[in-house]
């Protein structure tokens, strides 16, 4: 079952679901719109192979940036974007994220991203640039998160390596 705006408000008011900060236009018909935060990590282009099990090597593929004003998403660029809102999902909700249609119509995309039941922290989303450069700024609504209710609470909520993450977070081993 997909939550309606009424269901989302009920979950928020009960404290089971948290989205902070919560803006007036965050809650939509059947999901929440989330905003670009103040941190990004741009992928550095390299032909050097990276060993997936080497955590030190994984850190060398990104250039982290604090963003306080407009920045450009270059054509076909891959970057990690921290979402402005911190979220906490209860053990009976799963989040399905997608890019807002305005960005999709400009050719910008994200891969399918699931937010597991029990997740808490800052979301980091992989963004893939379209065919033209696009200037955006922190605070722009760009992600739509739809909540699905599980038939029962998960017995083991998410407590993986990205649980309670803070800031833009790259790949972890």
Structural domains counted in the chain:
1
Q: What percent of the chain has pLDDT over 70?
A: 100
Residue 55 DSSP class? H
Which own/partner contact pairs does 4-12 have at CB distance under 8 Å and 24+ positions apart?
4/29, 4/30, 5/29, 5/30, 7/147, 7/149, 8/32, 8/147, 11/90, 11/93, 11/147
Q: Is the residue at 80 inside a domain?
A: yes
Is the backbone peptide bond immediately before 21 cis, with ω within 30 degrees of 0?
yes
Structural domain boundaries enclosing 38:
5-47+63-149
Q: Is the residue at 162 inside a domain?
A: no
pTM above 0.85, yes or no: yes
pLDDT tens-digit map of 91-102: 999 999 999 999
């Amino acid at each position: 079952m997909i939550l309606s705006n009424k269901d989302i408000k009920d979950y928020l008011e009960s404290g089971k679901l948290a989205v902070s900060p919560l803006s007036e236009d965050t809650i939509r018909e059947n999901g929440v719109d989330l905003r670009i935060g103040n941190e990004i990590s741009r992928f550095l282009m390299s032909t050097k192979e990276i060993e997936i099990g080497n955590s030190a090597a994984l850190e060398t593929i990104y250039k982290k940036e604090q963003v306080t004003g407009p920045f450009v998403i270059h054509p076909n660029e891959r970057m990690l974007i921290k979402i402005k809102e911190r979220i906490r999902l209860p053990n009976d909700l799963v989040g399905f994220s997608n890019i807002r249609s305005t960005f999709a119509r400009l050719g910008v995309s994200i891969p399918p991203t699931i937010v597991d039941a029990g997740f808490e922290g800052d979301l980091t989303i992989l963004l893939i640039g379209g065919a033209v450069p696009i200037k955006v700024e922190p605070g722009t609504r760009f992600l739509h998160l739809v909540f699905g209710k599980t038939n029962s609470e998960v017995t083991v909520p998410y407590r993986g390596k990205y649980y309670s993450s803070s800031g833009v977070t790259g790949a972890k081993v």
